[in-house]
Amino acid sequence: MREIELTKRQTQILEIVKNNGPITGEHIADQLALTRATLRPDLAILTMTGFLEARPRVGYYYTGRTSGAQVIDRIKKLTVKEFQAIPVVVDRSSSVYDAIVTMFLEDVGTLFVVDQNSILTGVLSRKDLLRASIGNKDLHTLPVDIIMTRMPNITICYKDDTIYNVAKSLIEKQIDAVPVVRESEHGLEVIGRFTKTNFTRAIVDLMNNDMF
- Give the pLDDT of residue 210: 43
| Total residue length of the chain | 212
- Give the pLDDT of residue 212: 40
> Is the pLDDT at 114 greater than 90, yes or no?
yes
Average pLDDT (157-183) is 94
* Predicted confidence band of residue 110 (pLDDT cuts 50, 70, 90): very high
Instruction: Using alpha carbons, select from 104, 101, 79 the residue that is nearest to residue 198.
Output: 79
* Amino acid making up residue 189: E
* Predicted confidence band of residue 41 (pLDDT cuts 50, 70, 90): confident
Instruction: Using alpha carbons, select from 161, 152, 177, 171 the residue that is nearest to residue 86.
Output: 177
- Give the pLDDT of residue 104: 95
* Predicted confidence band of residue 69 (pLDDT cuts 50, 70, 90): low
* Predicted confidence band of residue 51 (pLDDT cuts 50, 70, 90): confident
Backbone φ and ψ of 73, nearest 5°: -60, -40
Express each pLDDT in 13-25 by its tens digit: 999 998 998 999 9
Measured distance between the N- and C-terminal CA atoms of the chain, rounded to whole angstroms? 9
Q: Which residue has the higher pLDDT, 108 or 7?
A: 108
> Is the pLDDT at 72 greater than 70, yes or no?
no
